[in-house]
Amino acid sequence: MKRTFSIIKPDATKRNITGAINKIIEDNELKIVAQKRIQLSREKAEGFYFVHKDKPFFNELIDYMTSGPVIIQVLEGENAIEKYRKIMGATNPQNADSGTIRKEYALNIQENSVHGSDSEENARIEINYFFKEDEIIT
């Protein structure tokens, strides 16, 4: 069993579609083993997206990610990282395959409804950035 880190982003919490997104996650045999609804501070969001600090969209990304609550999650399952990336679809919803979360729900490349870790190392770092081990209940 592998774990990945997920964020259901402010565009989705604002539209009350977090349950619809969780249904897609669960229908694809990923188990939500930790989940919290939080308001990100700018500091916490900037730390999370530190790798993007020199990108032209960085400030807008931080504005957006702090514009409303997010749901942070740990997902567990076989090939969790690759599986969740497949279910999410491409970063830009215009390029996402049909049936994916982003094709179905994302508004644009920034307000793209969900985040998922892109590697095992980043999954570990991202999970540890938000959760203590005893908050993950399998």
Residue 28 vs 110, nearer CB to ligand CMP: 110
Please state, in angstroms and rounded to a whole number, the distance separating the CA atoms of residues 7 and 132: 16
Residues of span 47-76 touching ligand CMP by CB under 6 A: 52, 57, 61
Q: Which of 115, 116, 126, 127 is catalytic?
A: 115
Identify whether 52 is a catalytic site residue.
no
Among 115, 117, 127, 131, binds ligand CMP (CB under 6 A): 115
Among 4, 18, 66, 112, binds ligand CMP (CB under 6 A): 112
β-pairing verdict for 2-8 and 70-77: antiparallel
Determine the residue type at 66: T
Please state, in angstroms and rounded to a whole number, the distance separating the CA atoms of residues 52 and 61: 9
Q: Which two tokens stand for residue 65?
A: 């990610």
Q: Is the dihedral of CA 12, 21, 99, 80 positive or negative?
A: positive
Q: Which two tokens stand for residue 8?
A: 């259901």
Residues of span 6-45 touching ligand CMP by CB under 6 A: none
Considering only the stretches 66-74, 75-83, 106-114, 125-133, report the one whose residues sit in contact with ligand CMP under the rule CB under 6 A.
106-114
- Establish if 91 lies at the interface with ligand CMP (CB under 6 A): yes
Q: Is 115 helix (H, G, I), strand (E, B) or coil?
A: strand
Binding site for ligand CMP (CB under 6 A): 52, 57, 61, 91, 109-110, 112, 115
